[in-house]
Structure 1
Amino acid sequence: MDQRKTVVVTGFEPFGEHTVNASWVAVQELEKLGLGDDINLHVAEVPVEYQAVQNLLPSLWKDHLPQLVVHVGVSGMATTVTLEQCGHNQGYMRMDNCMFCPVSRCCVDGGPDCIHSVIDMDMVCKRVNSSGLGVSVSVSKDAGRYLCDYTYYMSLFVGEGRSAFVHVPPLDKPYSAEDLARALRAIIREMLEHMETQQTNTHCLHNP
């Protein structure tokens, strides 16, 4: 019987000025690199469409039964690899690639305003930064109220907090796709280790 852990990692398709989306390029590089023999890695490209995310996210969790789902997105403002601590339910007003925006401006009607990952991103950040990786990692609590934040919230909601979101800078500003893949590999392995020690704490840490 396969005792390996299962991890799903997603990147996004191109949108706006990001005609090549660094997140999906980095995830494809990560797929080549792998997460190690003890981990089954599945990757998927996520459309920059609210309705597609609503359909795709539950099926990723159901089909793969992963221990962890990590979503990777690009941020034109980022200069570091940024770990997002939480996803937000409301405030979605930007049109997606289909020129659609949720009428309710939210992800899940009646859902909590904010859901935190069960992973302590500050701790993961410190450990990766002290590992001599050569890629700078930081932590954020605002994923931007667009498809990144929307996807993260949906995944946290469906996966009961066992999800993570990583923002990467555009390619070569300053990191190559290979640099980003190495950083993602280190981050994800650190997250899994952290989750193993935190198994008693599997509930959502969102505000009541």
Structure 2
Amino acid sequence: MAPLSNITKVLITGFGAFQDVPNNPSYEVASRLPTSLSDSIHLVVYPSAIPVAYHPVINLIPNLIQTHQPDIVLSIGVAPGRSYFAVEQTAHKNGYNRVPDVENKTFTAAENDAVWGSQPPQLSTSLDLEDVVERWQDLTSNIRFPFEIGGDPKAKAKRITKSMAGSFVDVRLGGNVMQVEDVRWSDNVGTYLCGFIYFTDMVEMGKAGKRNVAFMHVPMLEDEEEITTGVEVTVALVKAIVESWKESAV
């Protein structure tokens, strides 16, 4: 066992059901993660799906971070329209008073000002995501990516193993060719619960120093094979984040 001072603790959360997503793959992936990746990387996975609702998030996340004192926080959400995994760069302070959550509530402008009045309009992670994504691509270079992409919703488009992660691969459906990518950098977390939890994570982690926080969007993984792929990709991301973070601290 590594000395306590050498252990990196990563807090991970996933979301629950919302709208047309009864089984949110973000929590399906998070709940299948191991408790450790090595003697020096320990995962603290919140044991329940986070409600897709503003007030439960703003009440829960600060307590989770204070209780567990993680070195890194990784929140996971789903982007149903995407066929790739992505880590997001920034989150916005405002805009959460527009779309009601699963409790039919919003985070009003008055609440936002009371909680985050001193915060800038957007926050960016302190992690070097460019470096993280390069490492992530290397670590996922031999993963097979099974996805359901367009056309007949019952037709599965099976991805071949790529020679280099992050490159484009042709997927043929009904004579059409679609280009899809596996893992990448993004800056489009949105202003629904994904953006809300990411901003909350960064505010809370920032109170103790750097915003060592990441948010990952997963595609609409549905069957067990796809969820298993999601677990593999997430494990690779955590390793990439920890490696990058440790090297930057040297």
Give the TM-score normalised by the residue count of structure 2: 0.74
Instruction: Report the AA paired with residue 75 of structure 2.
Output: H
Any runs of at least 4 consecutive aligned residues in structure 1 with deviations exceeding 4 A, and if so which? none
Choose the corresponding residue for 1:155, options 201, 215, 223.
Answer: 201
Distance 2:37 2:121 in 1: 33
Deviations 1:142-167 (A, max 9, x none): 20110000000010111021110000
Distance 2:233 2:79 in 1: 16
Choose the corresponding residue for 1:19, options 17, 22, 40.
Answer: 22
Matches within 5 A, 1:164-175: 164-172=214-222
Choose the corresponding residue for 1:104, options 109, 113, 116.
Answer: 109
Which residue in 2 is equivalent to 1:121? 129
After TM superposition, give the deviation of residue 140 of structure 1 in Å: 1.0
Gaps of 5+ in 1: 201-208
Deviations 1:34-64 (A, max 9, x none): 4223222111231111111111111111111
Matches within 5 A, 1:59-78: 59-78=63-82
Q: Percent identity?
A: 26
Q: Are residue 90 (structure 1) and residue 91 (structure 2) matched?
A: no
Distance 1:133 1:112 in 2: 40
| SS of match in other structure, 1:101 | coil
Q: Alignment RMSD, CA only?
A: 2.0
Q: Are residue 39 (structure 1) and residue 41 (structure 2) matched?
A: yes
Distance 2:126 2:51 in 1: 26
Distance 2:101 2:32 in 1: 26
Distance 2:116 2:67 in 1: 21
Distance 1:127 1:194 in 2: 8
Which residue in 1 is equivalent to 2:156? none
After TM superposition, give the deviation of residue 172 of structure 1 in Å: 4.3
Q: Which moved more, 1:47-56 or 1:135-144?
A: 135-144
Q: Which moved more, 1:186-195 or 1:104-113?
A: 104-113
Gaps of 5+ in 2: 146-181
Deviations 1:15-43 (A, max 9, x none): 110000000001112137x4223222111
Which residue in 2 is equivalent to 1:192? 242
Give the TM-score normalised by the residue count of structure 1: 0.88
Deviations 1:110-167 (A, max 9, x none): 3111111111222222222233242510111120110000000010111021110000
| SS of match in other structure, 2:13 | strand
Which residue in 2 is equivalent to 1:204? none
Q: 8 Å contact 1:133–1:183 — kept in the other structure?
A: no
Larger radius of gyration: 2
| SS of match in other structure, 1:159 | helix
Deviations 1:157-205 (A, max 9, x none): 11021110000011149x71111111111111111111112238xxxxx
